[in-house]
A = this chain, B = another copy of it.
Amino acid sequence: MKIITISREFGSGGRELGKRLADTLGFDYYDREIITAIAQAQGMDENYVEKALEGGMWQHIPLTYGQAFSGGAMMQAAQTGLLVEQRRVIEGIAKAGRDCVIVGRDADILLADQKPFTMFVCADMDAKVRRCMERAREGENLSRKAMMQNIARIDKARARSREMISDSKWGHGASYHMTVNTSGWEIKELTGAVADFVTRWFARTK
Contact = CB atoms under 8 A, between A and B. Distances in A.
Interface in A162-206: 171-174, 176-181, 184-186, 189, 192-194, 196-197, 200-201, 204-206
B185 A204 contact: yes
Main secondary structure of the interface of A (DSSP, over half): mixed
Nearest to A12: B174
A45 interface: no
Given A196-B196, A200-B192, A205-B189, A173 B181 contact: yes
B177 A178 contact: no
Contact of A196 (B178, B184, B193): B193
Nearest to A172: B171
B180 A177 contact: yes
Contact of A120 (B173, B194, B197, B201): B173
A189 B196 CA distance: 13
The copy count of this chain in the complex is 2
A23 interface: no
Chain A contact-residue range equals: 20 to 34
Contact of A178 (B172, B174, B179): B179
A173 B184 contact: no
Given A184-B206, A186-B205, A204-B189, A173 B174 contact: no
A138 B196 CA distance: 40
Contacts of A129: none
Given A193-B197, A197-B196, A174 B204 contact: no
Contacts of A174: 9, 122-125, 181
Contacts of A123: 174
Contacts of A206: 184-186, 189
A35 B23 CA distance: 47
A180 B125 CA distance: 21
Contacts of A179: 120, 173, 176, 178-180
Interface of A: 9, 120, 122-125, 171-174, 176-181, 184-186, 189, 192-194, 196-197, 200-201, 204-206
